[in-house]
């Protein structure tokens, strides 16, 4: 069969991506899209094009249709000849794209842009959760005060990088509606009624271990909650274990995390939405009297 036009991926590689900043010849920086395609079977489909972000692929499709419109009718085309307007020197094919990735440094997005995709913006700034906001500048400009401020700022930036990287690696987005494990059991993100919530309502049996609570969604569905209590007692460990027995989709793990200050990081997640892997790079920290637990979501630091 005669190919008069190159595949869409070649058209896409001929231009940069306005969404992720990838240059001509470089694949899009789309880890979630690549992971989803790796799990699916797309035999016979131009996979390289499917890995592109939509704005880049839309531009490639428009370029392709322009070439088709300018080319002779199919009956008048010469077999073996290409009728595209791509310049081979500036439009590298997939092999050249791979070589370009090997020699060019990856595009690094600013932390503020990455965090905004996870937490959203408010008044033009990242809506950081409690404990992750940048520290306030010192009122006095003494050398000692400025040194303390710089140290606190560096520590906070490291924590912001950790929490953002963790959420990105799992495809999670922060939700302001999560409140307790009952929220995790729902098919859409909606806050509990006050009398039904296990953190705020009634006796609040999960109140203690849900200190510094953050809720996370994946594709709009409740997927995980994280907390950072200053201590995890036997009653807290029993509640965590009880939830995994109550709902087989739930699992939990304990370790160190972004809050620091002597807290223990707890993550509880939906196993049908988030893949399981070691809690930290050094392996899970089971903490005091946690009882049986399952592996925690993929992350360098939880």
Q: Does 89 have pLDDT greater than 50?
A: no
pLDDT at 290: 37
pLDDT at 245: 93
Write the pLDDT tens digit of every residue in 169-204.
888 999 988 889 999 998 888 878 877 888 875 578
pLDDT at 170: 87
pLDDT at 85: 82
pLDDT at 241: 94
Taking all residues of the chain, what is their mean pLDDT, rounded to a whole number?
78
Q: What is the pTM of this model?
A: 0.59
pLDDT at 40: 61
Note the helical H segments in 138-248.
143-170, 181-184, 234-246
Structural tokens at position 103: 């020699």
Q: Which long-range contacts (CB under 8 A, 24 or more apart) does 89-94 make?
A: 90/14, 90/24, 91/10, 91/11, 91/13, 91/14, 91/24, 92/13, 92/14, 92/24, 92/25, 93/6, 93/10, 93/13, 94/9, 94/10, 94/13, 94/48
pLDDT at 280: 41
The alpha carbons of the chain give a radius of gyration, in whole angstroms, of 25
Write the pLDDT tens digit of every residue in 216-269.
998 889 999 999 999 999 999 999 999 999 999 999 988 888 888 888 999 999
Q: Does 97 have pLDDT greater than 60?
A: no
Q: Does 301 have pLDDT greater than 60?
A: no
């Amino acid at each position: 069969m005669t190919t008069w036009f190159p595949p869409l991926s070649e058209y896409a590689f001929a231009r940069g991506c306005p969404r992720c900043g990838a240059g001509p010849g470089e694949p899009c920086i789309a880890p979630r899209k690549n992971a989803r395609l790796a799990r699916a079977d797309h035999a016979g489909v131009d996979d390289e094009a499917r890995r592109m972000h939509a704005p880049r692929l839309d531009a490639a499709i428009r370029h392709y249709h322009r070439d088709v419109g300018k080319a002779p009718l199919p009956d008048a085309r010469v077999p073996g000849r290409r009728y595209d307007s791509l310049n081979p020197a500036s439009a590298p094919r997939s092999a050249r794209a791979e070589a370009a990735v090997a020699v060019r440094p990856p595009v690094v997005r600013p932390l503020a842009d990455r965090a905004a995709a996870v937490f959203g913006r408010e008044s033009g700034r990242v809506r950081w959760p409690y404990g992750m906001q940048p520290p306030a500048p010192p009122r006095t400009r003494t050398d000692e005060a400025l040194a303390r401020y710089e140290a606190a700022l560096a520590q906070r930036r490291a924590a912001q990088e950790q929490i953002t990287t963790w959420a990105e690696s799992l495809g999670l987005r922060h939700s302001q509606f999560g409140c307790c494990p009952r929220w995790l059991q729902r098919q859409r993100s909606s806050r509990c009624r006050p009398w039904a919530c296990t953190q705020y309502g009634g006796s609040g049996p999960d109140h203690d271990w849900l200190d510094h609570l953050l809720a996370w969604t994946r594709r709009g569905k409740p997927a995980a909650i994280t907390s950072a209590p200053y201590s995890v007692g036997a009653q807290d460990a029993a509640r965590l274990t009880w939830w995994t027995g109550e709902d087989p989709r739930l699992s939990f793990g304990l370790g160190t995390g972004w809050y620091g200050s002597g807290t223990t990081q707890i993550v509880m997640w939906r196993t049908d939405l988030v893949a399981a892997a070691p809690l930290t790079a050094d392996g899970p920290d089971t903490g005091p009297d946690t009882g049986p637990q399952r592996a925690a979501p993929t992350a360098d630091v939880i």
